[in-house]
Every structure is written in structure tokens, then in C-alpha cells.
Amino acid sequence: MGQKSAPAAFEQVYVLGLDEKGHPRGARFSVLKDSIVSAAMDLNCRVLIRQTEAVSKLGMKLPVGHVFGKGKVVTLFVPNIGCRLYKQILEALQVAAIQERTEIEAAISLVIH
């Protein structure tokens, strides 16, 4: 069988948060699994799935994360990242949320009128 190509940016799973000392950390994973999401949440990290192009472009700058263990209980390695990248991703998430809200409001106003 042939080797699979790397997943597109929008198929990536991004994990973003702060460590116990308040330093930003983040990683990207090429596969979405419940165990990864659960482990990321245990680390008090946000899990970003199917993001906009702007967020994905920044997310692809995150280092690749590592999963240790198999099955339902795994441990994640989510390395520290620079404050600038962390802030850029958060800002892109805010812009995407505003754009989505605006599109929803516009669609609602078209339906109502």
C-alpha cells in the first residue's frame, strides 16, 4: 500500500494553552482522537479543530505534538512555544469568531426580512 500524504492544514488538530507556570505551549496533531482531546483538556488546553485558513496557517507553525500510550488513556507532549505565536493564534481565533458571528447575523436578517 502507498504511504498517505500529509493531512491538509484544515485537517490538523491544534492544542493550545498555558503550562503550570503560565508559559504558552502548543502543538499540532494530524489525527483527531477522543484520547488526544481528553488528554489536552486534562492539561487545561484548548483543542482547535477545523479552523479557518488564517488560524490554520498560524497553527501549522506549531511543533508536532507527541502521544505517549495507546488506547483511551494517553499522555501528550505539548512543548512550550513563543508568546508571539500564541498571541497571534488567539487573535486569529477572535477575528474568526467575529466573522462567523457577522455571517450568522447577516443570514438571520435575510431570513427574517
pLDDT tens-digit series, residues 38-66: 999 999 999 999 898 999 999 999 999 99
DSSP state of 69: S
- Per-residue pLDDT at 113: 59
The predicted-structure confidence for 11-46, as pLDDT tens digits, reads as follows 789 999 999 999 999 999 988 888 999 999 999 999
Q: Specify the pTM.
A: 0.79
Longest dimension (CA), the chain: 55
DSSP state of 80: B
DSSP state of 7: P
Q: How confident is the model at residue 10 (pLDDT cuts 50, 70, 90)?
A: low
Task: For residue 108, count other CB atoms closer than 10 A to its CB.
Answer: 10
Cell of 73: 488513556
Burial class (CB in 10 A: 0-12, 13-18, 19+), 73: exposed
